[in-house]
Amino acid sequence: MTSKPNSQRPALEVMDVANAHSLLGGLGTLWRMTKIAFLTPWAATFAILATLVSSALQLMIPRLLGQAIDLTQTLAQDQSGGARTALMWTALMVLGVSALRGLFTTFQNYYSEAVNHYTGVELRLRYYEQVQRLSFGFHDTVHSGDLITLGLLDLDGARQFFSTGLARIVLLAVLIGFGGAMLLRTDFTLGLMALSFVPVVGWFSSISQLRLRLTWRDLQDRMAVLSRVMEENLGGIRVVRAFGAGDHELDKFDAASGKALTLAHDRVDIRVRSTGIMTLSFLAAMGLVLWIGGEKVMAGTMSVGTLTAFLTFMTILQMPVRQLGLLVNSFARTSTCGARVFAFLDLQPAVSSPSDAPDLQLSDITLRFDNVDFAYPAAPDVPVLRGLSFSARKGETIGIIGPPGSGKSTLAHLIPRYYNLTGGRISIDGQDIAQVSLSSLRRAAIVVAQDVFLFTTTLENNIAYGEPRACVEAIERAADDAQIHNHIDDLDARYHTLVGERGASLSGGQRQRLTIARALLPKPSILIFDDSTAAVDAATEARLRAALQAGAADRVTLIVAHRLNSLQHADRILVLDQGRLVETGTHADLLAQHGRYRALYDLQTNAEDREGT
């Protein structure tokens, strides 16, 4: 999607750094993600409540197990019915608490994941809406592979914040906070020993997750490169096959894939090393508790049940403590991925209309350029159009010609306001196009672009894209005017024939005629052909010109072309050179002036004569 050779790529650079290294920016990103998560308040609230209940129930299990062990010892020494009944009730309580904990854990997981999905849907809708809103200038400077990576990897990383961040911090606060307090209250010395693994595991877990976070960003960048290589290869597969460049493309893909694989191996190494250290510290702490606790049991200062409760608490705490690193990683991932997503969502379109802008009101349909200057935003010091002035009235056909780079296509794209002017004014029936709503302007002025794009759907849907409610007769009439109806009528499925990706099943001329039919169907007041018949043969173009001429009285028609025979019927021809209007007149007038138009005419005529001989 890069179109200007000197274009910069500011948008993704903004998304890379915006707020990523700022504490306030990171907190702002987390707060925005939290607000999005609570757009479904019932699911989010129920998930938090289920997390609290399941955590509290989990903390009851070690005490119940310890109580059961002590009752078992009592029962072994005293076969009284009271001890047996107490043991039975304790066992039932363990089963009941475990079942309830499992039930509420299920609720927690289900509703947390539901919130994740709701968040993902909301972010995807906002992202896709923003893609549609941003101006042509943005898409000129950003590769579509980067946008796909942002809309997949970054968005997916941000959407999981509720379950991996908010719900997890509640879980860890209850288990580690209350669990640790219960251990210390039971036996302060043994509690310290039992918790001795917590700082070690918490530290290494956090460090490893932060390192994984940094490498994850690098992996995202490498995966973005891989996506671009794949996308370009798929888009240009015919060129690759035509030039037998399959091995070269495979080498490119293998190199990009190898870089991603190397980084993936590094991430595995970080994870394995940290896991080994954390496991060792936990087992060492457990061994210390068994040693000292066993001494206390033998000394009669602690029961076996209490020691069992300590060990069970440690086992329960092991996973939450390890998840401290995952919690840190969740906050870091959401801060970085979310910052990129929100930086993109916060971009303002360069081209927009005021919220209260009126719709374009058409009467005489007079198009006027008044001293128009223009330079692309990516190269503001390189003017493309300079002091351009002309007018066109309803019923007129205006031809535009000039050497490559003279500003012909740019002129066409300024009328529906794909870009903002650098200077001057364009008006339609006296209304400045910058002051009317974009939707009404682009309904009135339609460009048939040189770069043809067809959707993977039926021929009927492709033609009716700009007028979805059009009847079959109107669609067929537009196709007939575009000289494509006869071809469609010969197909087995006629207008229900499925078009291949990007129109690969059609010839270049057929694709161009389909896009012309698409533009004719809404009946625009200003119709602009941007070299859109270059792939159409001369005979078909003549019939197309005649068909278009029949409806030209109700609109302004502008034709940008390189071939002079496409313009000879025009009421006026504008000759551009280096962004300036250098000649204007009819075909006969321009030939008589013996200027640039005549030189171009002689050049093309001589070339055709040589081809004929």
Residues in the chain: 613
Looking at the structure, do residues 414 and 555 belong to the same domain, yes or no? yes
Query: Which CATH number characterizes residue 151's domain?
Result: 1.20.1560.10
Residue 503, pLDDT above cutoff 70 = no
Question: 């990103």: which residue's tokens?
Answer: 29
Q: Which helix (H) or strand (E) segment is 156 a member of?
A: helix 155-159
In a domain, 226, yes or no: yes
Question: Given a cut of 90, is residue 331 above it in pLDDT?
Answer: no
Q: Are residues 291 and 418 located together in one domain of the fold?
A: no
d(CA 259, CA 230): 15
Number of domains forming the structure of the chain:
2
pLDDT for 386 equals 92
Residue 1 scores a pLDDT above 50: no
Give the torsion sign (CA, 394, 385, 531, 541): positive
Residues forming beta bridges with residue 254, ordered by sequence position: none
Q: Let me know whether 285 and 375 are in one domain.
A: no
Output the pLDDT for position 426.
93
Q: Which residues, other chains included, contact 425 with Cβ-Cβ below 8 Å and sequence gap of 6+?
A: 369, 370, 371, 372, 432, 434
Return the minimum-mean-pLDDT range out of 187-196, 199-208, 236-245, 289-298.
236-245
Strands across the sheet containing 366-374: 385-393, 366-374, 423-428, 431-432
User: What tens digit of pLDDT does each residue of 358-411 get?
Assistant: 999 988 889 999 999 999 887 888 899 999 999 999 989 999 998 888 888 899
Per residue in 145-161, pLDDT tens? Answer: 677 778 777 888 888 88
Residue 482 lies in a domain: no
CB atoms within 10 A of CB 543: 12
504 pLDDT band, cuts 50/70/90, is: low
Task: Calculate the average pLDDT of the chain.
Answer: 81
388 within a domain of the structure (yes/no):
yes
Distance CA 489, CA 470 (A): 18
Question: Cβ–Cβ contacts within 10 Å for residue 77, how many?
Answer: 8
Task: Please indicate, yes or no, if residue 205 is contained in any of the structural domains.
Answer: yes
Q: Please determine, for residue 3, whether its predicted confidence score (pLDDT) is greater than 60.
A: no
Residue 558 pLDDT grade (very low, low, confident, very high; cuts 50, 70, 90): very high
Kindly state whether residues 152 and 224 are assigned to the same domain: yes
Do 341 and 403 fall into the same domain?
A: no
DSSP string, 201-265: HHHHHHHHHHHHHHHHHHHHHHHHHHHHHHHHHHHTHHHHHHTT-HHHHHHHHHHHHHHHHHHHH
Residue 552 to residues 119, 459, 545, 547, Cα–Cα distance (Å): 50, 25, 10, 9
Q: Which of 345, 378, 407 is the last residue of a domain?
A: 345
List the 526-530 sheet strands across, edge first.
445-448, 526-530, 556-560, 397-401, 572-577, 580-585
Q: What SS3 class is residue 323?
A: helix
Of 541, 65, 51, nearest to 315 (Cα)? 65
Mean pLDDT score, 272-286 = 79
The CA angle 269-275-278, to the nearest 5 degrees, is: 140
Q: Name the domain boundary from 295, 315, 345.
A: 345
Condensed to tens digits (0 to 9), the pLDDT of residues 37-94 reads: 999 999 999 999 999 999 888 888 888 787 777 777 666 666 555 667 777 787 788 8
pLDDT grade for 213, boundaries at 50, 70 and 90: low
In a domain, 469, yes or no: no
Contact 581, 575 (CB under 8 A): yes
CA 173 to chain centre: 35
HSE-CB at 229 with a 13 A cutoff on CA atoms is: 17
Does residue 135 have a pLDDT over 60? yes
pLDDT greater than 70 at residue 182:
yes
Is 65 a domain residue? Answer: yes
* 19 confidence band (pLDDT: 50, 70, 90): very low
pLDDT average, residue stretch 299-315: 80
pTM above the 0.85 mark? no
pLDDT at 2 over 60: no
**Strand, coil or helix: 366:** strand
What span, in angstroms and rounded, lies between the C-alpha atoms of 19 and 26?
A: 6
In the predicted model, is pLDDT for residue 21 greater than 50? no
Exposure on the CB side of residue 34, measured as CA atoms within 13 A: 12
Query: What's 400's domain CATH number?
Result: 3.40.50.300
pLDDT at 337: 82
Strands 526-530 and 397-401: unpaired
The pLDDT value recorded for residue 286 is 81
Q: How confident is the model at residue 25 (pLDDT cuts 50, 70, 90)?
A: low
For residue 356, tell me if it sits in a domain: no
Q: What angle do helix axes 304-345 and 246-299 make, rounded to 10 degrees? A: 150
- Residues 51 and 168 placed together within one structural domain of the fold: yes
At how many degrees (to 10) do helices 179-186 and 41-77 cross?
Answer: 30
Nearest to 308 by CA among 116, 515, 555, 61: 61
Per-residue confidence (pLDDT) for residue 611, from 0 to 100 = 53
Structure tokens at 469: 């409610």
Averaged pLDDT, 495-515: 77
Winning range, highest mean pLDDT, from 265-279, 289-303, 369-383: 369-383
In a domain, 5, yes or no: no
pLDDT at 411: 92
φ, ψ (nearest 5 deg) of residue 524: -70, 155
Asked if residue 241 and residue 377 are part of one domain, the reply reads no
With a pLDDT cut of 70, the percent of the chain lying above it is: 88
- Give residue 339's domain range: 10-345
Residues 328 and 378 in one domain: no
Domain boundary among 310, 345, 380: 345
CB neighbours of residue 355 within 10 Å? 6
Regarding whether 225 and 275 lie in a shared domain, the answer is: yes
Examine the domain organization and report whether 390 and 323 are in the same domain: no
Percent of the chain surpassing pLDDT 90: 17
211 and 340: one domain?
yes
pLDDT band for position 431 (50/70/90)?
very high
Residue 15 has pLDDT above 50, yes or no: no
pLDDT for 17: 41
20 and 81 share a domain? yes
Phi/psi of residue 398, nearest 5 degrees? -110, 125
